[in-house]
Structure 1
Amino acid sequence: MSTDLIVGFSALQIVVAVAATLGAAFIRGLTGFGFGILLVPILALALTPVEAVLALNIMAGLLALSEIRYVLREAERSALTISVLVLLTTLPGLMLLDATPPALARLLIALVALSAFFAVLLPRRGAAQPGHLTTGMTGVVAGVLTGFAAMPGPPVVPYYVGRDIPRRTAKASMVGVFGVAAMTGVASGATLGVLEWRIVLLGLALLPLVVFGNWLGSLAFGKVSDKLWRIVVGVVLAAAAVAALLKLL
């Protein structure tokens, strides 16, 4: 990594960023989500929040591209509908964030994170795909939250994990949606003129760690029971909700 890339990073921050990248990628490989929730706060120690989100989205988008065959093979058809709506509503979400007072934005983000956690705790619904309205609202809210908080997970995770469908289907569907969300976030950053080459190169430099950590998580995914997998999903969502509330307080 060149000197230009590590300007603003102390040696300790670099070590923590590497460890956090591996850990977040492992959780992503195991659950299908949680990468941004765990990694953005660490990257934000040395970067601005916008830069941290963009660097993460570069890594997440490229990782999703490497898994496209898995997504196409295993994902539910609803993931395509939700992804298209994410494409259409991410930029309005970013505009909404810009127009929202910071205190109110933090409150809304915390409430969304909490709602996702409690939604996963509800009894699982049947395997049938929800109606067009529920699917459409999931896509719209996921897109708005991608722009507003870099957090498309709260509506998407309960949509899939809260149903009695195979976990491979749930994970592949979430991976597909979040990959589209990440690439849309990068495109929105470029459109607004806030994406710098320094951030692109940083994302590329950390990508091998992301691939390795995700691979380890995927190995674990194949060995844990469905019940344990859902417990891990709940724990990650709970951590996100607690982090959002602490930030709010």
Structure 2
Amino acid sequence: MPDLLAQTLALPGLGWLVIIAFVAGLVRGFAGFGTALVFLPVAAQIIDPVWAVTVLIVMDLAGPAPAIPRALKDGHPKDLLRLVAATALALPFGMAVLFAVDSNLFKLAVSVISLIMLVILMSGKRYQGKVTPPIVWTTGGIAGVLGGAAGIPGPPVILLYMASSHPARVIRANTTAYLFFFDAMMLIGFAFVGRLAGLPLFLGLLVMVPNLMGNLVGGAVFNPRYESLYRYVAYLIIAASSLSGLFAAVF
């Protein structure tokens, strides 16, 4: 344990990881999404991509935990169950890609995916059909593959719910709960293949504190009357993170 602590504290760029963990938690707290989109493009510039995903899922499990009881109460349980079940089935395929992909390709891919998802979210283009159970199952499967391969499961689910007839309270609740359960499944998967150990695990536990603080601050300042404002602030932060990752990957 002392050796791991010394290695963690000596890690180049640790301060930036702490800062981006707090900012990612802040965005998640007031917008209900965005942790991976903010954290991964920056973290993958500092540490190994698989490590970055490990750190993300460890720290992100605690951040939204205080909001889960309320999210389960306010959400739509049938949709949530379908999403989680479909993701569980698809997740191993995505994780196989993550463990095989080249680190430079990961950095480029995660930044490009983040930017594409951001453009889609900002464009206002939405699925116009009825949100049926098969559509929810399909969305969960896509999120499972994307989340397992790049650590970014949220955008397909967010796009689905923005097209749904659910009120904002339900959408926010189901998105929050889904991302929490996704992190739990990723942790189980990483532990099963022996990836949940050593320095990345310790680093995830370390940055869990600033991430949790960010979540609490973001949740405290959230006001439903200004939901669109919070969303656009989140978009700006995601854009900055993604562009920095893209620049680093290309140059």
Same fold? TM cut 0.5:
yes
- Paired position in structure 1 for 2:171: 170
Query: How much identity, in percent, do the aligned residues show?
Result: 24
1:225 Cα deviation after fit: 1.2
Q: 1:134 to 1:104 in 2, by over 3 A?
A: farther
Equivalent position of 1:26 in the other structure: 26
Shift of 1:108: 5.7
The answer to whether the 8 Å contact 1:59/1:207 transfers is yes
For this pair of structures, how many residues does the alignment match?
249
Residue 227 (structure 2) aligns with: 226
Asked if the contact 1:127/1:164 (under 8 Å) is kept, the reply is no
Alignment check: 8 A CA contact 1:81 1:135 kept: yes
Residues 79-119 of structure 1: per-residue CA shift (max 9 Å, x gap) = 22111211221111111344567787667655543442233
Residue 215 in structure 1 maps to residue 216 in structure 2: yes
Aligned AA (1:235): L
Distance in 2, matches of 1:43 and 1:125, equals: 30
Moved more, 195-204 or 66-75: 195-204
Letter in 1 for 2:37: I
* Structure-2 separation of matches of 1:129 and 1:162: 8
Q: Secondary structure at the match of 2:71?
A: helix
Structure-2 change in CA distance of 1:8 and 1:46 (3 Å): farther
How far is 1:214 from its partner? Answer: 0.6
RMSD over equivalenced CA pairs, Å = 3.2
Deviation at 1:190, TM superposition (A): 1.4
Q: Secondary structure at the match of 2:218?
A: helix
Give 5+ residue unaligned stretches, structure 2. Answer: none
8 Å CA contact retained: 1:74, 1:168:
yes
- 1:67 match: secondary structure: helix
Distance 2:176 2:95 in 1: 22
* Partner SS for 2:47: coil
C-alpha distance in 1, partners of 2:110/2:73? 33
CA separation in 1, counterparts of 2:171 and 2:214? 20
Contact 1:125–1:164 (CA<8 Å) still a contact in 2? no
Q: Give the superposition deviation at 1:148.
A: 0.5
Structure 1 regions of 5+ residues with no counterpart?
Answer: none
TM-score by length of 1: 0.82
- Determine if contact 1:25/1:214 at 8 Å carries over to the other structure: yes
What is the letter of the counterpart of residue 216 of structure 1? V
1:102-113 equivalence runs, <5 A: 109=110, 112-113=113-114
Structure 1 residues 65 and 129: CA distance shift in structure 2, 3 A: farther
Q: Residue deviations 1:18-68, cap 9 Å, x none?
A: 222222111110111222222234444553221221122012123344332
How far residue 124 of structure 1 moved from its aligned partner, in angstroms, is 7.1
Classify 1:127/1:62 alpha carbon distance in 2 versus 1 (closer, same or farther; 3 Å). Answer: farther
Q: Higher relative contact order by CA 8 Å / sep ≥ 6: 1 or 2?
A: 2
Kindly report which structure 2 residues correspond to 1:1-249, keeping only aligned pairs within 5 A, or say none: 2-7=2-7, 9-10=9-10, 13-44=13-44, 47-77=47-77, 78-98=79-99, 109=110, 112-123=113-124, 130-163=131-164, 165-222=166-223, 225-239=226-240, 242-243=243-244, 245-246=246-247, 249=250
- Closer, same or farther in 2 for the Cα pair 1:2/1:134, shift >3 Å? same
Deviates more, 1:57-66 or 1:92-101: 92-101
Report the Cα distance in structure 2 between the residues aligned to 1:234 and 1:160, rounded to whole angstroms: 17
Rounded to whole Å, the distance in 2 between the matches of 1:208 and 1:134 is 36
**Aligned partners of 1:92 and 1:33: how far apart in 2?**
23
| 8 Å Cα contact 1:87-1:180 kept in structure 2 | no
How far off is 1:14 after superposition?
A: 3.1
Deviates more, 1:31-40 or 1:199-208: 199-208
CA distance in 1, matches of 2:22, 2:111: 25
* Secondary structure class of the residue paired with 1:151: coil
Q: CA deviation at 1:201?
A: 3.1
The alpha-carbon deviation at position 15 of structure 1 amounts to 2.7
Moved more, 2-11 or 177-186: 2-11
- Matched residues in 2 for 1:11 and 1:224: separation? 42
| Amino acid aligned to 2:73 | R
Greater shift, 92-101 or 182-191, is seen at 92-101
Q: Secondary structure at the match of 1:206?
A: helix
- What TM-score results when the alignment is normalised by the length of structure 2? 0.81
